[in-house]
Structure 1
Amino acid sequence: MLGLVETKKEIITKYDVVHIWGSNRACWEFVSSSEASGGLLLIWDEMVFKLSNCYKGDRWLCIEGMVVKENFHCAVCLVYGPHVRAEKNSMWEELSYLAGLCQVPFCFWGDFNEILHVEERKGATSLSVSAEDFKSWINDMELVDLPLNDRKYTWFRGQSCSRIDRSLVSLGWLDVYPETRLRGGPRGLSDHCPMIMEDSRKSEGPRPF
């Protein structure tokens, strides 16, 4: 499964998806950008994940369905967090409602535009109120913030850098994929590093999500 944040595209065509995915055997859902900013895209292999429901917000895209191999019913939500505290709190409420609606193990991943710890932003000496809100939401939702062990920051612009990209999973997710790991990919033209989440059980090898 592949998630793209800030696509800056109002329309995603099959041509776009095949070009990105490299195969015709792909399903996708997207949230349109607004005035050349924002936009979300999820692509997956229809033989690996069977879609049952799709939910969309201005800054999030959620697909609910089944991972075929494990017969695992779950939901994956791609997030592009706002910058303003009030808008962030509104999004936390929407995502809480979404999790309650689906009632399945969840994975929230993407650019949350927020840090959780002081050391996640270069030069920071304290956490903002919105960061404390974010931390409280994670605790209330009983989510696990997957550690990123191979790098300190995921976003870079000039002298500024921070870790605002992450993956948050429920305990039910970890029951099925207890060896879920998060690592950073090589940085390209984007100011964000790609995040790669995989189940690294040695007996079966890594499984990228």
Structure 2
Amino acid sequence: MNCLSINIRGLTVGGKVKEMIRKYGIDFVAIQESLLKADSRFDFDILWGAGDYGVDSVCAGGRSGGLINTWNVRKFIKVGSVEDRNFLITRGTLVEDGSVLNLVNVYAPQKANEKKALWERLIGFIQGGKGMWVCIGDFNSVRWKEERKNSKFNKGMANDFNWFIEESNMQEYIMQGNKFTFSSGTGNECKLSKIDRVLVCQEFFNRWSGACLRALPRVLSDHSPLLLSVHDSNFGAKPFKWFNSWLERDGCEQVVIGALQGSYGNGPADVMLHRKLGAVRSGLREWWKKGV
């Protein structure tokens, strides 16, 4: 199921979104800053044409916000939803095999304390829910200093965001197409940042390890639309996961060193590397089970 995330600053570009849906074979669209009001009447046929589609929405508050999830019902069947000013969860099953999938459209606030409260609410849903999870949208946060240019890096906000990603056990695909997703200003003073993202749970990442995430050109707003294209791949080893924060925990470094020193054998370099990573994985798994 191919997904599109886009911050459009209003639904006046609906016709262009429809072109993207057709061009890229989109099955699920997450829209941020739709500016859709409670008394608004928007014809979603503009996006999908006359056909079968589903819609969830959260109305805008004032002159900003508004979330819309819309999908192809031939690929995804909704079973429930959760609405919040800063996120919209659409729960359902994939038509192809009945797998449970939770699609979370995120539009994070600006203030640090409000962002942290949002991360805590989302962790509660993710850890307490069933099925696969995809969080997609405008997170208004970066993870590392390198994800900002000509704008201030807030280490505390980044730490909170990285904590959320680690606690919810989320993964990221390498983003192609552009290093940054948001642009403000012009010339040498242009501010750039990577605040739009796609985060997926480990089960989703393992199932579609060959998925492609691409930042499309910023032609509809000052945000790059994000395109996640997936295809089934039932081959290859599971990805090896590592969090830098583990090194701050007592005993982690010793576990890694011990696993590497205890891994022997002969063979090609790639086979030996696979064995060493396997030993480290097993060592960390046992270390984690001890409740560190």
Specify which of 2, 22, 27 is matched with residue 54 of structure 2: 27
Q: Check 1:93–1:184 CA distance in 2 against 1; reply closer, same or farther (3 A cut).
A: same
Alpha-carbon distance in 1 for matches of 2:225, 2:181: 8
Which residue of structure 1 lines up, in the alignment, with residue 224 of structure 2?
193
Aligned equivalents of 2:207, 2:233: Cα separation in 1: 15
Between stretches 193-202 and 180-189, larger displacement belongs to 193-202
Distance 1:83 1:125 in 2: 13
Equivalent position of 2:207 in the other structure: 176
Partners of 1:42 and 1:13 in 2: how far apart?
16
Quick one: which amino acid aligns to residue 122 of structure 1? K
One-letter identity of the residue aligned with 1:33: A
Alignment CA distance shift 1:75-1:126 (3 Å): same
The one-letter code matched in structure 1 to 2:221 is S
Identify the residue that residue 2 of structure 1 maps to in structure 2: 29
Give the ranges of 4+ consecutive aligned residues of structure 1 lying more than 4 Å apart after TM superposition: 12-15, 124-127, 200-203
Structure 1 residue identity aligned to 2:208: Y
TM-score, normalisation: structure 2: 0.65
Whether 1:114 and 2:114 are equivalent positions in the alignment is no
Q: Alpha-carbon deviations, 1:40-60, whole Å to 9, x = none?
A: 001101111011110111110
- 1:198 counterpart letter in structure 2: S
Is residue 48–residue 68 contact of structure 1 (8 Å, CA) maintained in 2?
Answer: yes
Within a 5 Å distance, the mapping from 1:37-186 to structure 2 comes to 37-123=64-150, 127-158=154-185, 159-186=190-217
Partner Cα distance (1:124, 1:35) in 2: 26
Mapped contact 2:143–2:162 kept (Cα < 8 A): yes
CA distance in 2, matches of 1:126, 1:162: 10
User: What's 1:206 paired with?
Assistant: none
- Give the residue type in structure 1 aligned to 2:89: C
Question: What one-letter code is carried by the residue in structure 2 that aligns with 1:58?
Answer: R
With 22-31 and 4-13 compared, the bigger mean Cα shift is at: 4-13
Between 1:18-27 and 1:105-114, the stretch displaced more is: 18-27
Q: Aligned partners of 1:70, 1:24: CA distance in 2, in Å?
A: 22
How far, CA to CA, are the matches of 1:14 and 1:84 in structure 2? 31
Structure 2 distance, partners of 1:107, 1:42, is 13
- Give the TM-score, by structure 1 length: 0.90
8 Å CA contact 1:64, 1:102 repeated in 2: no
The residue aligned with 2:251 is none
Gaps of 5+ in 2: 1-27, 235-292
Quote the offset at 1:82 in angstroms: 0.7
Q: Write the distance in 2 (CA, Å) between the matches of 1:157 and 1:63.
A: 31
Higher helix share: 2
Structure 1 stretches lacking a partner, 5+ long? 204-209
Q: Could you tell me which amino acid in structure 1 is paired with residue 54 of structure 2? A: C
Q: Secondary structure at the match of 1:16?
A: coil
SS of equivalent to 2:176: coil
Q: Aligned partners of 1:157, 1:107: CA distance in 2, in Å?
A: 27
Which of the pair is proportionally richer in strand? Answer: 1
Q: CA deviation at 1:201?
A: 5.4
> In structure 2, how many angstroms separate the alpha carbons of the residues matched to 1:202 and 1:108?
21
Contact 1:12 1:30 in 2 (8 A): no
Q: How far, CA to CA, are the matches of 1:200 and 1:77 in structure 2?
A: 20
Of 8-17 and 117-126, deviating more is 8-17
Partners of 2:211 and 2:228 within 8 A in 1: yes
